[in-house]
């Protein structure tokens, strides 16, 4: 049996760092906005007892890929010879704060749960996903959500489904490097979701990233000419909200050299859920 499923991107509409934990991880308050665009994965179950991964980009087919790691985490729950061939259509910029790798992992968990008939609950898949990265559970649940802790305490939020222009300058930022930097602001007071929704939104990583990677600051200076803008996650991608697709396209047409850009709609539920429901209807 074969399954083709989306793995969408997210934005962090705000990202507050409220403290550092004993294990070095940081407690956050963040608003994850699901987008309607992303990667696509194709899964063909087999009885080879192995996981194989194919992608046009050969650097993405190794055993360090989160897709492979997610599949291996589910292997112990599956029948002895359960295997799968997975094809990744990589559309999202990598290491851009859009969560592409984490989203690919979450889609893989759902796909193999179905193909291998594991009957694990979404909560179980999210807990397994958390061992791969702090961003995986939100993609497993697939809702626009307010997150606390390292991103695992999630509360779905319904927001107006806005149009966003997402721009990724040509620089790679390591999440771990930003979190271990001495100059990172990590003392934003934790406040309630109601207060947060009424306050001015910001990203605590943005001033440090702008300082360390001037290209991010330059990209924000370009985008702010069109609309108020901010960085997502630990960068390097930045985004702005537009009233309609035409005005977002107007800005995208002027995209600076060396940047990638795309237009997406914010959605309250990831299209992954509709795609999974489709496969239920057809099985
Ligand atoms: C901060 C966010 C916001 O969405 O950044 P982006 O990665 O999306 O840019 C994410 O929660 C990131 O999640 P993810 O990318 O899955 O991070 P992980 O692999 O779990 O962690 C990478 C490294 O970042 C640091 N880290 C990560 C998350 C966190 N809450 N505190 C941390 O200190 C840790 O040093 C960890 O070793
Ligand atoms: N399926 C995957 N897609 C993209 N990157 C992956 C994947 N699996 C592992 N990675 C690694 O994770 C890093 C961060 O990827 P990504 O999730 O795109 O960034 P971010 O967490 O900043 O949004 C990449 O640079 C890459 O080395």
| Cis amide bond preceding 236, omega within 30 | yes
Give the whole-angstrom CA distance, residue 61 versus residue 131: 20
Mutate to test the pocket of ligand 1, among 25, 97, 134, 234 (most ligand atoms within 8 A of CB): 134
CA 265–ligand 1 middle distance (angstroms): 24
Quote the pTM value.
0.96
Closest-lying ligand to the alpha carbon of 89? 2
According to the annotation, is 261 in a ligand binding site?
A: no
Q: How far apart are the first and last CA of the chain?
A: 10
Ligand 1 atom with the smallest distance to the CA of 233 is 9
**What confidence tens digit (pLDDT) does each residue in 136-172 have?**
999 999 999 999 999 889 999 999 999 999 999 999 9
Give the whole-angstrom CA distance, residue 32 versus residue 13: 6
**Would you say residue 283 has pLDDT above 70?**
no
- The ipTM value here is 0.94
**What confidence tens digit (pLDDT) does each residue in 86-130 have?**
999 999 999 889 999 999 999 999 999 999 999 999 999 999 999
Q: β-strand 153-156 against 163-169: which pairing, if any?
A: unpaired
Query: In the prediction, which pLDDT does 279 show?
Result: 87
Residues annotated as catalytic are 10, 135
Asked if residue 134 has its Cβ within 6 Å of ligand 1, the reply is: yes
How far is the CA of 58 from the CAs of 55, 87, 99, 135, 172, in angstroms? 6, 12, 20, 24, 18
Give the whole-angstrom CA distance, residue 137 versus residue 153: 9
**What confidence tens digit (pLDDT) does each residue in 64-92 have?**
999 999 999 999 999 999 999 999 999 99
CA 281–ligand 2 middle distance (angstroms): 32
Query: In the prediction, which pLDDT does 151 show?
Result: 85
If you take atom 6 of ligand 2, which residue's CA is the nearest one?
101
Domains along the sequence of the chain with CATH: 1-283 (3.30.230.10)
């Amino acid at each position: 049996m074969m399954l083709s499923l989306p793995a969408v991107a997210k934005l962090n509409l705000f990202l507050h760092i409220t403290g550092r934990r004993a294990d070095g991880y940081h407690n956050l308050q963040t608003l994850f906005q699901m987008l309607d665009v992303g990667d696509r994965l194709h899964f063909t179950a087999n009885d080879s007892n192995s996981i194989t991964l194919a992608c046009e980009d050969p650097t993405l087919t190794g055993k360090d890929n989160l897709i492979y790691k997610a599949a291996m985490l589910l292997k112990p729950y599956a029948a002895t010879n359960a295997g799968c061939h997975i094809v990744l259509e990589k559309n999202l910029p990598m290491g851009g704060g859009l969560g592409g790798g984490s989203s690919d992992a979450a889609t893989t968990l759902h796909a193999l749960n179905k193909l291998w008939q594991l009957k694990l609950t979404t909560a179980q898949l999210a807990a397994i996903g958390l061992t791969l990265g702090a961003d995986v559970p939100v993609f497993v649940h697939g809702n626009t959500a307010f997150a606390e802790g390292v991103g695992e305490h999630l509360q779905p939020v319904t927001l107006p489904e806005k149009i966003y222009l997402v721009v990724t300058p040509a620089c790679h930022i390591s999440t771990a490097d930003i979190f271990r930097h001495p100059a990172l602001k990590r003392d934003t007071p934790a406040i309630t979701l109601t207060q947060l929704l009424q306050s001015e939104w910001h990203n605590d990583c943005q001033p440090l990233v702008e300082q360390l990677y001037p290209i991010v600051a330059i990209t924000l200076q370009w985008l702010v000419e069109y609309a108020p803008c901010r960085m997502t996650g630990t960068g390097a991608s930045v985004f702005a909200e537009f009233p309609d697709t035409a005005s977002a396209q107007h800005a995208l047409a002027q995209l600076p050299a060396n940047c990638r850009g795309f237009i997406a709609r914010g959605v309250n539920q990831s299209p992954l859920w509709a795609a999974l429901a489709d496969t239920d209807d057809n099985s």
